[in-house]
Amino acid sequence: MSVTLEQCNLAEAQIVEQAKKIDFFFVEYTLELLASKLQNGDFVIPSYQRDDTWEPDRKSRFIESLLMGLPIPFLFFWELPDTGKLEIVDGSQRLRTIHQFVLGNLKLGELDTLPALEGMTFSDLPESRQRKVRNRSVRGIVLNEHADDQARFEIFDRLNTGSKIANKAEVRRGALSGPFLDMVIALADNATFQALAPVTDKNIKLREREELITRFFAYSDGLAGYRDRPADFLFQYAKKMNAELMTHPEKEVDYRKRFEDTMEFVAKTFPYGFRRKEDGNVTPRARFESIAIGSYMALRDNPKLADHPPEVISWLTSTTYDKVIGSDGANVIAKLTDRIGFVHKRLLGV
Average pLDDT, integer, range 224-246: 87
Tens digits of residue pLDDT in 273-321:
999 988 888 999 999 999 999 999 999 999 999 999 999 999 999 999 9
Report CA-CA distances (Å) from 147 to 73, 150, 154: 22, 8, 11
Average pLDDT, integer, range 1-27: 75
pLDDT of residue 72: 87
Distance CA 135, CA 47 (A): 30
Tell which residue, 193, 229, 205, has the closest CA to residue 336: 229
Domain boundaries, the chain: 5-158, 168-348
pLDDT of residue 22: 66
- The pTM of this model reads 0.60
Looking at the predicted structure, is the pLDDT value of residue 164 above 50?
Answer: no
Looking at the predicted structure, is the pLDDT value of residue 159 above 70?
Answer: no
The answer for residues whose C-beta is within 8 angstroms of residue 230's C-beta and 6 or more apart is 215, 331
Looking at the predicted structure, is the pLDDT value of residue 161 above 50?
Answer: no
Q: What string of DSSP letters covers 69-82? A: T---PPEEEEE-TT
pLDDT of residue 144: 79
Distance CA 333, CA 223 (A): 8
pLDDT of residue 251: 96
The one-letter amino acid at 150: Q
Report CA-CA distances (Å) from 254 to 163, 173, 219, 249, 270: 40, 22, 16, 10, 24
